Structure 1
C-alpha cells in the first residue's frame, strides 16, 4: 500500500482515535493489544469492559462487549485477526510457526480498540446482535467501525442489519467500513449501502508455495501454508482409491470424501486426493500427508494445512497421477512452505465479490480494494489455525485470506486519515480514499471497476486528497425516497422523520458520490444503444486555499465526456464548487469504464465513470 512505518503521523490524535471492531470478539492477552506505553483511555470514551469471566481490558483494548454468548473472548480467531490488522501494536518477530516472519503492525498502532463480539461459534452472527453491537459502539464513543461480517448476498437496505446500524453510525459522524463478500462472481457484492465504505480484496506481492519432490527427482510447486518438516527424504505415496473403504464409490474414494479413507492403510503414507478438500479426511484418518489439486480451490488462495500437504495445478497433479500409475513403489516428499514474490500484484482476488450493485444499480460497489490474501495477523490460541476442529495446534499469529482481511486494512487507513483530519466527516474520509486510489490493471481484472471500484487504496495520498465529495444524511434519505422506500420504513428503520414528497427524491446516480455509475437497461446483441447520461456533483476544497483544478477525462471511440465547467477555481479552504459530467456514445458491449480526474498540478482527484447494461 506504500504505507511504511515512518509515515507522517499525529501521535496524540491517533492515540485518541478509537476503532470499534464488530466481529467474533478478541484475544485480550495478544501482544498486538499490549498497553505498554499507553496512557488512560480518551476522555470521550464512555464504554465498558464487559468481556466476561477472566477477561481484562487495558489502555490499548479499552472496551469489550458480548452478545448472545457470555464472553467477548475470541475462540474463532477472526475478530482478533481483523482488529490487529486495523490497529494492532508493532510486534517484532511475529510469524505463523516460522512462516512469514517479520514485524506485524496495524495501520494505526497507537489507536485504541473496542471489541464487540456479535457472533456465536457454529451459529453465526444474528441481525439482533449486530444491531446491538452498533448501538453500543455508537454510544460508547468509537470514531469508526470495522465490520468484516454480513450477508452472503445483497439484501434490501431495510432488511440489512449492517446497513441499518451503519446509517445510525453515520448520524453520529462515524464511518463504517465493511467487507464486500467472498462469492467472487459478477453481481455478488453484498455490502451495497452508499454510506458504507465497501472493501474488496487484492493479492499482495508476497505469496507462499509448497514444493513436492517425487521419488524420480521431479520437483513440483504447489500452494499451501505448510509449516511441517517431514523427518526423512521420501515417503510412500498412495492414491485415495487404493486405501478407501469398499462402501465408497471410485469417485468418492479418489477425492478422499469424508469417511472413505481407512486409518490402518494410510498410516505412514502420503495420500493423493483428486480434491484438495480431501486433506481433511487424510488428517482424520491419520495419514502422514496429503496432495490435492485446485479443482475446487481458487488458485490465489493459500490454505493452512493440518498435516503436511500441498495443492497442485491440474497439470502438475496429472504428473503425480502418471508417476503413481507407472511406478511400483511410488514415493514423495512435501517440503516446508516458502515465500515467493507475486509479480502481478496487486490483482483483485478471485474470491472478492464484484459489482454491479444488485440493490442500487446506479451506485458502484465495491468502493475500493486493499490487501486481503495471505495476511499475517494476531490470532486466538483457542482457534484451530486450519479451521478443522480436530486440529489442536495453538498459534498466536495466523495467515488468513478474505475480504474480511481487506476491510481492516481500509479501516486502518481511514483511522489514519481521521487522525490527521479529526474534523472531517465520514463522507470526506471515504471520498479521500476513493479519489486517490489507483486504477488497477484491466488485463488482470477483466471486471474492471466492478472488481476494484475506484481502485487500490493509497493511504498516504488519501491524507491530502485536494478535493472531497461531501454527502450528508439528507442526501442519503433523498436517495432512499428515490428508490421508492416507504416513508414509514425510513422513519422506523433509519430513524429519520421524513416525507418522501416529489421534491425530496433523487436518482441514486445523482447522489454526491465519488464515483459515477448508471445502468442503462437491457441489451440486444445485434444492436448498439445510443446513450447520453448526466451526473451532477459538488466538490469541497480541502487542499490549498488558492487553487485551480482542470478536468481531464478518459478518451475512447465508444464515448465522449463533457465536463461543465471544466475548470474549478477556489479562493479558500472548504469552498464548494458544482459541476456536471455528461457522457455520450453508443453502447455495444457490457460495460464502459471511463474516468474523470481533477488536477491542480499537485493533487489528482479521480472518479470512475461506469455505464453498463443488465
Structure 2
C-alpha cells in the first residue's frame, strides 16, 4: 500500500518558487504541473492531481518528483485515461495506438531512458492520422472522388456515437468556420474565394448529418434539404428508415424512396423534424438502404 497525497498539499515553498519559477502560483500544484511538486513530500507516494491540463504532463511531473503513481480526477464521473501506477510504459483506456521509434522513451521526457516497442497515446492528434489513413484508403478505390465525397462516405458508414458518450469536448465546431481561404484552396485545388456572403441557412448546407440547436423544451418545426449522389449499383432503389427517433419528435422523410438509374445520378429529399425536445440533447439516425448498401 502506498500513501496518497493531494498535489495541492505538495507544493514547493513560495520562496523557492519565487526564486526559480517566477509567476508559478502554488495553486498550480494541484494540477501537478512540471516543477510544481515538492519531491520531499511526494517521494514514494501516489499523487492526486486535478485534470486541468493533460494527464500525461501531470503523471510525468509526479514521476520526476519521485512519486510512485498518479490519480487524475476531474468533474466527470469516469476514470481518467492517464491514471496509473509506476513503472508503466503503456497507458490504458485510449483511442489509438501509435508505433514509436525504438530509441524513443515512453514519456519523451528528460531523464526518462525507458524504451518500449510501442507507446500508446490518445487524443485528437492521435486520431487525425487514423482518419487520414481511412480517407486515403477510400481514395485508393475511388481516385476521382472529391474530399467532400470521401468525408461523406466516412461519416455515413461509421458506427453512430451517442452524443452523451463523448467524454471530452474536443469537437471544436468554431474551428470549422474559421478556416483560412489559403488552407481551403489546398483541399479544393482551385482558387475559390469567399468575397461575399450567400443567402441561406446552416441547416440547408448539403451535409451528411443534421444538427439543430434550440431552447430547452421549445417546440420545433425544421426542414432540412439534402441532395445525394449514387455511388452504388447503377440501377438501385433506396428506402429511408429513421432509427431511434426521440420521444416527442416526429421525423419524416419525403420522398422516402429514391430510385437511381445510373452511377453519379443526383436526387434530393427533404427531412422534417417536428415536436418538442424534452431532454438537453437527443439524437437519431437516418438510414438509406437498398438491401446491399447503406
Determine which of 438, 448, 457 is the counterpart of 2:159. 438
**TM-score when scaled to structure 2?**
0.69
Give SS of 1:411's match: helix
Matched, 1:496 2:192: yes
1-side partners of 2:274 and 2:227: how far apart?
21
Tell me: CA distance 1:290–1:492, structure 2 relative to 1, closer, same or farther (3 Å): closer
Contact preservation (8 Å) 1:448, 1:593: no
Match in the other structure for 2:225: 536
Deviations 1:105-156 (A, max 9, x none): xxxxxxxxxxxxxxxxxxxxxxxxxxxxxxxxxxxxxxxxxxxxxxxxxxxx
Distance of aligned partners of 1:430 and 1:395 in 2 relative to their CA distance in 1, 3 Å threshold: same
Please say if residues 12 and 37 of structure 2, whose CA atoms lie closer than 8 Å, have aligned partners that are also in contact: no
Corresponding residue for residue 508 of structure 1: 202
Say whether 1:590 aligns with 2:286.
no
Shift of 1:389: 2.2
Query: How far did 1:377 drift?
Result: 1.2
Q: 2:87 — aligned with what? A: 308
Question: Which residue pairs with 2:20 in the alignment?
Answer: none
SS of equivalent to 2:250: strand
Contact kept? 1:550, 1:599, Cα under 8 Å: yes
Structure 1 counterpart of 2:240: 551
Conserved 8 A contact 2:181-2:194: yes
C-alpha distance 303-384 of structure 1, shift in aligned 2 (>3 A): farther
User: 1:413 is paired with a residue of what secondary structure?
Assistant: helix
2:283 match: secondary structure: strand
* Conserved 8 A contact 1:559-1:585: yes
Q: Distance in 1 between matches of 2:276 and 2:11?
A: 62
Q: Which residue among 260, 271, 274 is the counterpart of 2:38?
A: 260
1:448 to 1:566, Cα distance in 2 relative to 1, 3 A: farther
Q: Deviations over 1:452-491 (max 9, x none)?
A: 99xxxxxxxxxxxxxxxxxxxxxxxxx98xx9x9xxx969
Report the Cα distance in structure 1 between the residues aligned to 2:107 and 2:37, rounded to whole angstroms: 19
Give the Cα separation in 2 of the matches to 1:271 and 1:449.
28
Q: How far 1:557 moved relative to its partner?
A: 3.3
TM-score of the two chains, using structure 1 as the length reference = 0.36
Could you tell me which residue of structure 2 aligns to residue 74 of structure 1? Answer: none
What is the alpha-carbon distance in structure 1 between the residues aligned to residue 11 and residue 271 of structure 2? 67
In the TM superposition, 1:309-328 aligns within 5 A as none
> By how many angstroms is 1:338 displaced?
10
Provide the rounded CA distance (Å) in 2 between the counterparts of 1:544 and 1:559: 33
Contact 2:203/2:212 (<8 A) preserved: yes
Aligned residue in 2 for 1:377: 99
Q: Unmatched 5+ residue regions in structure 1?
A: 1-213, 215-236, 310-335, 343-348, 350-370, 454-478, 605-614
Write the deviation string for residues 326-346 of structure 1: whole angstroms up to 9, x where unpaired: xxxxxxxxxx9798xx8xxxx
Is the partner of 1:574 in helix, strand or coil?
coil
- Residue 388 of structure 1 deviates from its aligned partner by 2.9
Note the alpha carbon deviations across 1:359-398, whole angstroms, 9 max, x for none: xxxxxxxxxxxx43xx1413473x5421432323455642
The 8 Å contact of residues 227 and 268 in structure 2, kept in 1 or not, is answered as: yes
Contact 1:548 1:568 in 2 (8 A): yes
Distance 1:496 1:438 in 2: 33
Q: In the superposition, relative to structure 1, how do residues 490 and 500 fare at CA in structure 2: closer, same or farther (>3 Å)?
A: farther
Deviation at 1:596, TM superposition (A): 1.3
Asked if the contact 2:73/2:79 (under 8 Å) is kept, the reply is no
Structure 1 residues 450 and 572, CA gap change in structure 2 (3 angstroms)? farther
Relative to structure 1, the CA distance from residue 402 to residue 493 in structure 2 (aligned partners, 3 Å threshold; closer, same or farther) is: closer
Query: Is 1:543–1:573's contact at 8 Å kept on the other side of the alignment?
Result: yes
Aligned to 2:61: 280
**Superposed displacement of residue 281, structure 1:** 4.5
Q: In structure 2, what is the equivalent of residue 568 of structure 1?
A: 258
Check whether the contact 2:90–2:119 (CA below 8 A) recurs between aligned residues: no
Larger RCO (alpha carbons 8 Å, 6+ apart): 1
Give the secondary-structure state (helix, strand or coil) at the position aligned to 1:385.
Answer: coil
Q: Structure 2, unaligned stretches of length 5 or more? A: 15-26, 50-54, 186-190
Who is 1:295 aligned against? Answer: 73
Cα–Cα, structure 1 residues 260 and 421, in superposed 2: closer, same or farther, change >3 Å? same
Aligned mates of 1:514, 1:397 — CA distance in 2: 36
How many Å separate the matches in 2 of 1:304 and 1:386?
A: 13
Asked whether the 8 Å contact 1:561–1:583 carries over to 2, the reply is yes
